[in-house]
Amino acid sequence: MGRRILFIGPPGAGKGTQAALLSRTLGVPHISSGDMLREAVAEGTELGKQAGALMTTGDLVPDDLVVAMVAQRLAKDDAACGFLLDGFPRNLEQADALDRSVGGDAIGIVVLLTVDDDELVHRIMQRAVIAGRSDDSEETIVRRLEVFRSETEPLLRYYPEHGVPTVTVDGSGSVEDVFSRIVMALATER
Ligand code: AP5
Ligand code: MG
């Protein structure tokens, strides 16, 4: 099974949920740029101060800040034998920066999670009630979906063009069913 896995999917697709499960199965760290940024906001660091407002409106945090943050995380020992990236790279500039920083072989396989828009909105509005994420509001969801389509979807051409396989997994249904589909898809691409 590929051990440098990138999860791509629209907001609410289940990237975080599935990456956390797979991280336990594979024994490689789950690295979520969104979680790291939320931590920085909560701690009130300089990065958090620069990121907070942009996250609330659903816009991307500047590439240089995010690239530096994730590069530092990837340099830790526990990422030496693989990692699950969730939410990064999120545009072509970040993908290029990552490839340049590790010599063009950063990602082994891309897992694209697909879920229809109605279900995405439903999941995010449910989470809004319990988790209180600053970007889980109806207005911001529309912006996050736009940003996904314009900034992140181009990666679905970038990686195949760079020889990195992509598996598309139906992200609807139960968490367990989606997880089984991912494990099966990765085993097939082995
Ligand atoms: P980020 O944290 O990456 O958020 P996102 O992409 O909008 O996605 P979510 O975390 O909302 O969804 P998910 O796909 O992880 O789904 P989850 O498992 O949580 O980014 C947030 C912001 O940070 C960005 O907008 C940007 O400002 C900034 N940022 C982050 N990375 C950046 C980068 N690289 N560059 C620049 N800026 C960056 O599931 C969603 C909900 O559904 C949960 O409540 C979950 O419990 C539930 N759920 C999951 N699976 C199922 C299922 N099968 N059935 C029912 N419910 C389910
Ligand atoms: Mg997430």
Separation of CA 1 and ligand 1 centre (Å):
24
Separation of CA 92 and ligand 2 centre (Å):
19
Put residue 4 in one of left, alpha, beta given phi > 0 → left and psi -120 to 50 → alpha: beta
Q: What is the pLDDT along the chain (190 residues), one digit of tens a residue?
A: 448 999 999 999 999 999 999 999 999 999 999 999 999 999 999 999 999 999 999 999 999 999 999 999 999 999 999 999 999 999 999 999 999 987 777 999 999 999 999 999 999 999 999 988 999 999 999 999 999 999 999 999 999 999 999 999 999 999 999 999 999 999 988 6
Cα–Cα distance, 115 to 171 (Å, whole number) = 5
pTM here?
0.97
User: How many Å separate Cα 145 from the centre of its chain?
Assistant: 14
Cβ(2) to ligand 1 under 6 A?
Answer: no
Separation of CA 66 and ligand 2 centre (Å):
15
| Ligand 1 binding pocket mutation candidate from 22, 107, 123, 135 (most atoms within 8 A of CB) | 123
Q: Are 66 and 34 in contact (CB under 8 A)?
A: no
Q: Are 13 and 171 in contact (CB under 8 A)?
A: yes
Q: Are 11 and 148 in contact (CB under 8 A)?
A: yes
